Amino acid sequence: MTETIGKTDPPRGRETWEQLLGEATQVQGVSLGRDAWRRLRRNRTAMVAMGFLIVLASCSFLVPLLPLQSPQAQYPEERAFLAPNFETFRLLVVDGDRADEIPLTEALAKRNQKIAKYQKEFSGASDSERIVLHEKIEAEGEGKRKILNQLWATPNGWDRLLISVRLWIFGDWCVPSLCGTDDFGRDLLSRLLWGSRVSLLVGIVATLVSLVIGVIYGATAGYLGGRIDNLMMRIVDILYCIPFIFVVIFIISILDEEHIKRWLLEWGIDKTVIFYFVIGAIYWLTMSRVVRGQVCSLRNEQFIDAARTAGASTGRIIFRHLIPNLLSIVVVYLTLTIPSVMLFEAFLSFLGLGVDPPQVSWGILASEGMRVITPLQNLWWLVVYPGLALGLTLLSLNRLGDSLRDALDPRLKNR
Amino acid sequence: MPQTIRKLFLPTAISLLVVAVLWATSLGTLPSAEFTFNNGTEVKSLDPAQVTGSPEGRIVHALFDGLYRPDPKTLEPQPALALSANPDEILSSDGKTYTFSLRRDAQWSDGTAVTAEDFRWSWQRLLHPETASQYHFVLSAYVVNADKYNAGIVDPGDRVEIELPDRPRDLQLYPRGTMLSGKLLEIQRPPLADLLRELSDDEKAEQKRKWIYTVQVDGQQRKFSQQPPAGQDVERCLHVLLNFNQVGIRAIDPYTLQVELKNQTPYFLYLMQFYVTVPVNRECVEKFGYPDWIRPENIVVNGPFQIEFRRLRDRIRLKKNPLYWNKDAIALNTVDALAVESSTTGLNMYLEGDVDWMPSPPSEVIPQLEGREDYHAMSSLSIYFYRVNVTREPFDNPLVRMALSRAIDRERICRAILRAGQEPAYSLVPPVLTNYVAAEAPAYDLEAARRLLAQAGYPGGRGLRSIEILFNTRSDHRKVAEAIQQDWQRLGVDVRLRNLEWQTHLATTRKMEYDVARAGWIGDYPDPNTFLDLFVTDGVQNETGWGNPDFDRLIDRATREPDAAKRMQILHEAEEIIMGELPVLPIYFYVSINLVKPYVNGFFSNSQDLHPLPSISIDPLQKKKLVK
Amino acid sequence: MIRFLIRRLLWFLLTLWTVFTVSFFLMRAVPGGPFEGERNTETAVKQAEERRYRINQPLYQQYAYHLGMAAGVLSEEGKFRLGFPDLGPSYRIRDYSVNQIIAQGLPVSASLGILALTFGLVVGLVAGIIASLRRQSWADTSVMLLATTGMAVPNFWMAGICIILFVFMLPLFPAAGWGSLSHLVLPAFCLGAPYAAYIARLTRTGMLEVLHQDYIRTAYAKGLPARRVIMRHALKGALLPVVSFLGPAVAGILTGSLVIEKVFHLSGTGAYFVEAALQRDYTLAMGVVLVYTVVLYTMNVIVDICYAVLDPRIKLQ
């Protein structure tokens, strides 16, 4: 090889060869992923969509940090059905012996003062007094936690940390009700952002579950073909017909059994998390069919034959050669599955099988909005904003999905 | 695959689609009825012995006439098939025997007369254990021996009736198999295998089927059992019941019906206008059997309307019954009862003019509807409350229950969240019962509630476990639960909410696997007893685990107290007990809301939300004006 | 072909039996029963009801009884007979048997479904083809934007907005009900719109996939007019994903939709899928599940035949 080149071309120095080798390795080094990323970056709508999704995801992760109003504090008399406005609001709680509302920071400060006082007494106290003081300090600590519960439904440790940072930065100050308020006088903007946690999580977790099961199952069936394929697909046919609602009620009711619930909580597993898995486990069927169909047509392609000739194992062919080629169709179905999963969550919540209040999801907010939209009144913000949130997110997901599909297409590689 | 099939494929597919579309668009149309109302849901059944809800009741009342009908304004019993509602004429001097004279011009839609025997037969059917009517108590709780007949209780020495297993149709109660009557001499109960163990109700019933009854029939002794043991001389029978002649329901002559009660029951005539007590046509039931006799083409009725047409989950079309005794008083010729379940859809149809009467519009739009000419609201004989599971810690402590109750701001819930004029409830008995003074629990006071909680050993909620409110999924229930959650959180109590779909909610409440659970109760008759006797110790509807012997005694005394004023006083004392211990937290009294077009005449609001169709008419002039 | 159909028929019977069995035991494993209501019934009443509907028997006996009835070999009395499958009485809509309930509801659902499907198919295909041919143009962008919105919006939301717009603001259609063709326009649109959106996306993707293939290039190279290439050659290949989507979609759309039936007050079978389950009406739930299975299975067989027709490489086995 080198000799032929040497004959036709003028002799070259070592550097030239090294340079050529360098170029060659460079070309080889562009993996499908990196190439796709390069092409994706050039696509402006995709980048906008991705930016939106990243902002949304981080907002929903860090929502306790934002100076939002409480998503659950109710002011049904003073603040019900306020149209979007720019009047700021404060975090108010009821604490101590009185029944009227005071700012949150004030309530916390009072409790902290008491704790400080007890701690001061603690050092100079006798053992029996110490037990009493210790109990008092504990009680104040529990009181502080319960004050937060009035505004944010039982936040976990991480959320409590974020809330304390937020209180340190912003104090009681809250963003105005930019999206209006609902019939309880709760701030819609805050509810939307807190609701995004449930909706995004269900979209991601359930879709991933369905993806993993569906792709493995479908690719295996499609690749193995013959009897096994037939059997596996008939099983899918049967599962299609099993009434999902019974499956959901069944699983939820089992999880609600007191001892199972306690056992799961010991492992730190929330009912809602399992609920997402259940949805994912229901949605893998379509994915497996689509994947199987694609694999069936890919199976006869030359590159699979080549791999087989080279002695690759079945597992290697499925995972190294088939699945990457499925990416484009899988991505498209993924972008179709996420919306249906999110809507399914809304439907289940509507039936009483979903998340428990005061947790919210976009689906719940949208269906609440639909209850107030009648020819008799014009509370447009309760309809438009949840719809917009759902619509924009799913739209971005779709744009991103489409661009990813194009970017991942091996035939368009290096273009 | 031959080429021809491939060629034919596209044309075939397209032409199939065209044919399908043509079929789909060829729909029959139905002319609209004179009066259309939204009945709220598909009726479960139209058999008077099976119905339980008010949507069913509306239709049954249109199809059948009983002894009395409620007056549309006052709900006082008005004579229907009975000739008089005057106690002096129908009630015996001891206040326990009613003698009803029936009108002679009433007939069934097949032309035969309605007689006292029809009542007796229909009530026997209602009480028969195999009918499994949920509302049998309307008779069984009051009429002499009716409970014994209904529960299948017989004692040696009783006159009994025995049904042999030779029915023409196995699964149908009517026509009956051969009926024998005789005197019960002895009951042999098989020895219980394990006496140490408490038997469940199901096991008890299973055991009872094996009992052997020795009965003297026509001078000879015969042995019967529902599940006779093999090899012995025991005949199989379907039932051994008290002879129905022993029950205090007698047809003295074709037009005189006598009912003998266990105790004086001042509200008995109200029960006699309840839809389960209407008579049904024996011949029709025996000919077609249940449920076929209810089909529009088979049913025989005696009321103001007949069924013309029924499409499930769409509508029941009623038409005027030309053989009704009082047909001249019926203004409407056709009525449509729609089964629209979504209240938003119902409201849309009402606003569009497709529906003339629409009950319970969505609560969200009530502020917009209030004050309109067509808006009718009336507090009703029903209550919304929370059950508290007193078998669980910390609710076994009455102080905790009292603290929780006093922390609920019911005024705010009614005024700002429900917004339809519901009244906050501090008692079990609704204020619409004007002849009764309710015993009230203390009102909202957060600071007092805090003191109570501290007194119970939980200062500031310290040491109190987090409690769970259980409710069935509906947006109104969720709102109330969220409001109460906030109220209790302000007390320092951690509260979780758990929504369950309806059937699971019922099962969970029944199994007592809850802390606090939502419930509602609609009064069956206008008397405090319908709310109070729910909570007798181990009562079927109790479900709180609460029991108080003093309370039970008072309820029992009240049923036997002849003097009305004294009776109310006794019931008041009973309510004082339950409101002092609060095994249930009353939240509010329901309001019945109806939207009725202004051109509908004869529609009145009343506390039981009963709006009999016979009194309704349409003002055609006003309707025309309004539609234009 | 015949062997294929016979084999599928055997599988079909096996599927029906499995679905029946799994659903049967799943339903009864769920808490709550068909005879419970707000008013707690006494044990005696409940037992009488359970005896009437044979719920008191051991589970395997109930299973044999219901399976026998559904297979058409047992009568309601439990005696041998041969005839049409009998799904038994409904536990909640007591005046009718499950067969009668389905016979009343299915035509309503089916006719609405056919209209919605036709709408979805025509709009979706046209939009998808246009979008794929004018890739990256404004037509493509707006069609795909609409399609995405159609999928992203919950159907109860869409139905509500449609009612406000076309019933109250522009009084074109009646609010709800069943009777004339105008009653069906809004529900068919709301039911069909998400399907149109799906089909448009699938068509576009499929077309883009196919347009890169060698045989299309060959067809162009032969000098065939573009219209002929697209309609004759490209579309056939591009339709495959649409066809496989249509199988389950048709089954779903023909058997009805809960939300659309509720919002527009239509008396189809869609609501029973959820309501019968929530009310623990075992027989009715089983009935709709079996009907759905039959429709779905038939559709899947048709899809397989369509595949073989559209793609010569696929053989029916």
DSSP string, B337-354: EE----HHHHHHHHHHTS
- Closest CA of chain A from C29, distance in Å: 7
Smallest Cβ–Cβ distance between B345 and the set C101, C176, C308 belongs to: C176
Which chain A residues are Cβ-neighbours of C277 within 8 angstroms? Answer: 243, 245-246, 249
Smallest Cβ–Cβ distance between C152 and the set A242, A246, A390 belongs to: A390
Percent of chain A with pLDDT over 70: 91
CB–CB contact B202 C47 (8 Å): yes
Task: With a cut of 70, say whether residue C98 has pLDDT above it.
Answer: yes
d(Cα C290, Cα C282) in Å, to the nearest integer? Answer: 12
Confidence bin at B247 (pLDDT 50/70/90) = very high
Instruction: Give pLDDT tens digits for A100-154.
Output: 888 888 888 988 998 899 888 888 888 888 888 888 888 888 888 888 888 887 7
Smallest Cβ–Cβ distance between C30 and the set A246, A370, A375 belongs to: A246
Smallest Cβ–Cβ distance between C148 and the set A246, A373, A395 belongs to: A395
State mean pLDDT over B181-198: 77
CB–CB contact B205 C42 (8 Å): no
- Closest CA of chain C from A403, distance in Å: 11
**Domain B377-591 of CATH type 3.40.1390.10:** no
Task: With a cut of 60, say whether residue B396 has pLDDT above it.
Answer: yes
Confidence bin at B1 (pLDDT 50/70/90) = low
DSSP state, residue B561: -
Phi, psi of A2 (to 5 degrees): -60, -35
Smallest Cβ–Cβ distance between C300 and the set A237, A367, A402 belongs to: A237
For residue A188, CA distances in Å to A176, A357, A389 come to 10, 15, 12
State mean pLDDT over A289-312: 82
Question: Reading across the β-sheet that carries B159-163, which strands appear in turn?
Answer: B235-236, B220-225, B212-217, B179-188, B159-163, B239-242
Task: With a cut of 50, say whether residue A3 has pLDDT above it.
Answer: no
Per-residue confidence (pLDDT) for residue B116, from 0 to 100? 95
Task: With a cut of 60, say whether residue A4 has pLDDT above it.
Answer: no
CB–CB contact A356 B494 (8 Å): no
Q: Which of C3, C4, C5, C45 to mutate to test the interface with B (most CBs of B within 10 A)?
A: C45
CB atoms within 10 A of CB A209: 20
Per-residue confidence (pLDDT) for residue C170, from 0 to 100? 86
Tell me the range of B197-201, B409-413, B507-511 where mean pLDDT is highest. Answer: B409-413
Task: With a cut of 90, say whether residue A348 has pLDDT above it.
Answer: no
Per-residue confidence (pLDDT) for residue B184, from 0 to 100? 93
Which chain B residues are Cβ-neighbours of C46 within 8 angstroms? Answer: 132
Per-residue confidence (pLDDT) for residue B241, from 0 to 100? 93
Per-residue confidence (pLDDT) for residue A5, from 0 to 100? 44
Instruction: Give pLDDT tens digits for C19-73.
Output: 999 989 988 888 777 877 667 777 777 778 888 888 888 889 999 999 998 888 8
CB–CB contact B351 A375 (8 Å): yes
Task: With a cut of 70, say whether residue B227 has pLDDT above it.
Answer: yes
Interface of A with C in 220-259 (CB under 8 A): 230, 234, 237-238, 240-243, 245-247, 249-250, 253
Task: With a cut of 90, say whether residue B358 has pLDDT above it.
Answer: yes
ipTM of model: 0.88
Smallest Cβ–Cβ distance between B447 and the set A97, A142, A368 belongs to: A97
Q: B260-292 as b/e, with b when 16 or more CB fall inside 10 Å?
A: bbbebbebbbbbbbbbbbbbbbbebbbebbbbb
Which chain C residues are Cβ-neighbours of B151 within 8 angstroms? Answer: 44
- Closest CA of chain A from B471, distance in Å: 9
Per-residue confidence (pLDDT) for residue A153, from 0 to 100? 78
Please indicate if any CB of chain C lies within 8 Å of the CB of A327: no
- Chains B, C: CB contacts within 8 A come to 172
Please indicate if any CB of chain A lies within 8 Å of the CB of B408: no
- Closest CA of chain C from B347, distance in Å: 10
Which range among A140-154, B393-407, C110-124 shows the weakest confidence by mean pLDDT?
A140-154
State mean pLDDT over B472-496: 89
Q: Please, what is the average pLDDT of chain B?
A: 89
Provide the angle, in degrees to the nearest 10, between the axes of the packed helices C138-152 and C98-133: 160
Top-tier CATH class for B65-273 = alpha beta
Q: Within its chain, how far is the Cα of B18 from the centroid? A: 49
Which chain A residues are Cβ-neighbours of B408 within 8 angstroms? Answer: none
d(Cα A111, Cα A165) in Å, to the nearest integer? Answer: 18
DSSP state, residue C234: I
d(Cα A82, Cα A181) in Å, to the nearest integer? Answer: 5
Smallest Cβ–Cβ distance between B349 and the set C95, C176, C278 belongs to: C176
Smallest Cβ–Cβ distance between A372 and the set B364, B445, B482 belongs to: B364
Task: With a cut of 90, say whether residue B83 has pLDDT above it.
Answer: yes
- Closest CA of chain A from C13, distance in Å: 11
Task: With a cut of 70, say whether residue A380 has pLDDT above it.
Answer: yes
Confidence bin at A346 (pLDDT 50/70/90) = confident
- Closest CA of chain A from C275, distance in Å: 10
Task: With a cut of 70, say whether residue A28 has pLDDT above it.
Answer: no
Per-residue confidence (pLDDT) for residue A135, from 0 to 100? 87
Please, what are the domains in chain C?
2-71 (no CATH), 98-310 (1.10.3720.10)
What are the residue boundaries of the structural domains of chain B, listed by start?
65-273, 377-591
d(Cα A268, Cα A257) in Å, to the nearest integer? Answer: 16
State mean pLDDT over B70-99: 92
What is residue A195's three-state secondary structure? helix
- Closest CA of chain A from C277, distance in Å: 7
Touching partners of C (3+ C-beta pairs < 8 Å): A, B
Q: Pick the residue from chain C with its C-alpha nearest to A256.
A: C31
CB–CB contact A353 B501 (8 Å): yes
Q: Please, what is the average pLDDT of chain A?
A: 81
Please indicate if any CB of chain C lies within 8 Å of the CB of B291: yes
Please indicate if any CB of chain A lies within 8 Å of the CB of B461: yes
Confidence bin at C187 (pLDDT 50/70/90) = very high
Instruction: Give pLDDT tens digits for B534-581.
Output: 999 988 888 899 999 999 999 999 988 888 899 999 999 999 999 999
Smallest Cβ–Cβ distance between B416 and the set A80, A253, A358 belongs to: A80
Please indicate if any CB of chain C lies within 8 Å of the CB of A395: yes
- Chains A, C: CB contacts within 8 A come to 119
Which chain B residues are Cβ-neighbours of C36 within 8 angstroms? Answer: 503, 506-507, 510
Instruction: Give pLDDT tens digits for B6-50.
Output: 777 778 888 888 888 888 777 667 788 899 999 988 888 899 998
CB–CB contact A245 C23 (8 Å): no
Which chain A residues are Cβ-neighbours of B369 within 8 angstroms? Answer: 376
Phi, psi of B82 (to 5 degrees): -75, 150
Q: Which of C14, C148, C280, C306 to mutate to test the interface with A (most CBs of A within 10 A)?
A: C148
Q: What is the pTM of this model?
A: 0.87
CB–CB contact A243 C154 (8 Å): no
CB–CB contact C32 B503 (8 Å): yes
Confidence bin at A262 (pLDDT 50/70/90) = confident
Percent of chain B with pLDDT over 70: 98
Percent of chain B with pLDDT over 90: 55
Per-residue confidence (pLDDT) for residue B428, from 0 to 100? 93
Q: Within its chain, how far is the Cα of A8 from the centroid? A: 60
- Closest CA of chain A from C314, distance in Å: 9
Smallest Cβ–Cβ distance between B416 and the set A76, A93, A143 belongs to: A76
Touching partners of A (3+ C-beta pairs < 8 Å): B, C
Smallest Cβ–Cβ distance between A74 and the set B344, B486, B494 belongs to: B486
Q: What is the DSSP string of C70-110?
A: HTTSB-TTS-B--SS----B-SSSTTSBHHHHHHHHHHHHH
Instruction: Give pLDDT tens digits for A317-336.
Output: 877 777 777 877 788 778 77
Per-residue confidence (pLDDT) for residue A6, from 0 to 100? 42
- Closest CA of chain A from C41, distance in Å: 23
CB–CB contact B364 A358 (8 Å): no
Q: Pick the residue from chain A with its C-alpha nearest to C291.
A: A241
Per-residue confidence (pLDDT) for residue A54, from 0 to 100? 93
Per-residue confidence (pLDDT) for residue B580, from 0 to 100? 93
Per-residue confidence (pLDDT) for residue B332, from 0 to 100? 93
Percent of chain A with pLDDT over 90: 6
Q: Pick the residue from chain A with its C-alpha nearest to B471.
A: A352
Q: Are A202 and A395 in contact (CB under 8 A)?
A: no
Instruction: Give pLDDT tens digits for B254-277.
Output: 999 999 999 888 889 999 998 999
Residue C78 or residue B520, greater confidence: B520
Provide the angle, in degrees to the nearest 10, between the axes of the packed helices A157-170 and A104-123: 110
Q: Give the residue carrying structure tokens 């059937």.
A: B503
State mean pLDDT over B479-506: 88
Per-residue confidence (pLDDT) for residue B260, from 0 to 100? 95
Q: Which of B50, B52, B134, B336 to mutate to test the interface with C (most CBs of C within 10 A)?
A: B134
Confidence bin at A12 (pLDDT 50/70/90) = low
CB–CB contact C40 B312 (8 Å): no
Q: What does the block give as tokens for C41?
A: 């019934």
